[in-house]
Chains A and B, each alone.
Chain A
Amino acid sequence: MDEATIRTWMTETASSIRAERDHLVQLDAAIGDGDHGINMTRGFEAVVLAFSTEDGGSPGQLMTLAGKTLISAVGGASGPLWGSALRRAGRTLGDKPTFEAEQLVVAMEAALAAVQDLGQAKPGDKTMVDALAPAVGALREGVAAGQPLQSAVQAARSAAEEGMRATVPMQARKGRASYLGERSIGHQDPGATSAVLILKALERTLAAGG
């Protein structure tokens, strides 16, 4: 994996979030304030724009740039959370021109840690962590077991989807949905949903040979 992997991953993310914008808005309107799809679309479009004026750059530098761009373009909770996640993941990749599966695991672990440090959410709180944590676990196990990267990422995406669906019966304990108390039960968490979209974009990127 190299610079092109990160570029394709972020471009794929931007287009699938744009395509799912209204769905994310709908999910958020049920238990939040209905801006998640709008904010995420604005953020990843800003990332694509930032990449277009950035020639070259190592995978780590691009990832860090993506994180910084999200922090400065999104606002809300998703901006600082995804922004810190990508920024910290990018820093673990450093300045090397390529990276391997093991480094992807370290980067994803760093991303999860950044989200939990800033947001203080644990699994079961009905947040993006419910999709991200099992995904990082599945990726780590797959890579440690010597699976080809593509199948490890596939397993990560599948674990994220399962985690996303598991948010439906949960009562939210973090973020704006927590204000609803029991009324948050029965709705899928929008943050967990966009986490799945980002992992799907990575899966497609690798399948395309990026």
Chain B
Amino acid sequence: MATVVQRMRKFLNDPEQVVKESLVGLAAAHGDLLRYDAENQVVIRKDAPRQGKVALISGGGSGHEPLHGGFVGAGMLDAACPGEVFTSPVPGQMLAATKAVDGGAGVIHIVKNYTGDVMNFKLAAEDAAEEGIQVESVLIDDDVAVQDSLYTAGRRGVGATVLAEKVAGAAAERGDALAAVAALARRVNDRSRSFGVALSSCTPPAAGKPIFDLPEGEMEVGIGIHGEPGRRRSALGSAHEVAATMVEAVVSDLRPAAGARVLVFVNGMGGTPLLELYLLYGEIDRQLREASLEPVRNLVGSYITSLEMAGASLTLLELDDELTELWDAPVRTPALRW
């Protein structure tokens, strides 16, 4: 075991325990905001359940930190269900989280569109309904790299997940009803598009080796967030060229109105420093303005990651007044606070 750990250049005790041990650390660091229910493997907002407030939970495989546990707190998620690395959590976790946060106003499940997440959340929602809890599921599928949903599992949920959790969390906090909060989360998804590129693979701790090999000077284009290869491989161009690829992919699919105000989310995949992310943001900001769009809000940093993968994704959200107001509303979580 020691040699495996050494070869991986990761801080580990036991690769099989990485998720649990990390959640213990998350709770130790942010005990003022959340608690960790180790038995059910869920992260719960400290003051949950809040009577009369719509509760929001999400979940998915681990390895995307700070998503989702880092977004538990006031103004965002009430609970998060972390699965094993890159593996959907199980229905029991989601049911436990749903019961722990239900304040009588219903619970929203924010589900990223991956086969496993969708199936496990579906089984959990059935179980919750049997226990008399009102659940509404919102599916996030913003990744334009997956094109034809007739021949695929459909678009993946990526960057828009963070934006939907923030906006819906703010709506729940101000007292919106279940249907209204769900509608806002769906509106964020409908008005968002994302596209990502990878400059390296990543190594899931339990597998012990990188998912794919990527020679220097090449990039995977159209990746998701599970270290999987993209739609195609191409030569790594300048940041200007990479930004142009991302902007073109996202804008041509979103087709925002001319002069539209947009939120620009430049996300790191885990192994790309802020130095490069801001460089990329500068390119993207300029190119969007040239395309007569107006970036009025932004988020730059690593918020939905793929372990230590080098790479970045662009998510564009076409704002309106209400979405802007909810984005600006106070939030207090480990990873996002203002």
Are A176 and B228 interface neighbours, CB within 8 A?
yes
Task: Looking at the assembled complex, report how far the CB atom of B306 sits from the nearest CB atom of chain A, in whole angstroms.
Answer: 10
The answer, yes or no, to whether B85 is at the interface (CB within 8 Å) is yes
| A25 CA to B85 CA, complexed, in Å | 14
Are A72 and B92 interface neighbours, CB within 8 A?
yes
**B 63-108 contacts with A by CB, 8 A:** 83-92
Are A180 and B228 interface neighbours, CB within 8 A?
yes
**B 224-267 contacts with A by CB, 8 A:** 224, 226-229, 231-232
- Pick out which of these stretches binds chain A: B47-55, B150-158, B282-290, B317-325: B150-158
Are A178 and B90 interface neighbours, CB within 8 A?
no
Are B231 and A180 interface neighbours, CB within 8 A?
yes
Q: List the count of A-B residue pairs having beta carbons below 8 Å apart.
A: 106
The answer, yes or no, to whether B204 is at the interface (CB within 8 Å) is yes
One digit per residue, 1 when the CB lies within 8 angstroms of any chain B CB and 0 when it does not, for chain A 154-187 equals 0000000000000000011111101111010000
Contact A178/B153 with A35-B87, A71-B90 known, Cβ cut-off 8 Å: yes
Chain B interface size, as a band, is: 35 or more
Task: Looking at the assembled complex, report how far the CB atom of A172 sits from the nearest CB atom of chain B, in whole angstroms.
Answer: 8
Contact A77/B212 with A38-B207, A176-B114 known, Cβ cut-off 8 Å: no
Are A80 and B207 interface neighbours, CB within 8 A?
no
| A39 CA to B120 CA, complexed, in Å | 14
**B 135-177 contacts with A by CB, 8 A:** 145-147, 151-153, 156
| A179 CA to B147 CA, complexed, in Å | 9
Are B146 and A179 interface neighbours, CB within 8 A?
yes
The answer, yes or no, to whether A33 is at the interface (CB within 8 Å) is yes
Are A35 and B85 interface neighbours, CB within 8 A?
yes
Q: In the complex, given contacts A35-B84, A119-B115, A178-B152, what are 16 additional A-B residue pairs having Cβ atoms less than 8 angstroms apart?
A: A29-B211, A35-B206, A42-B84, A71-B123, A74-B90, A75-B83, A75-B84, A76-B83, A77-B119, A80-B120, A171-B151, A176-B153, A176-B226, A180-B228, A181-B152, A183-B232
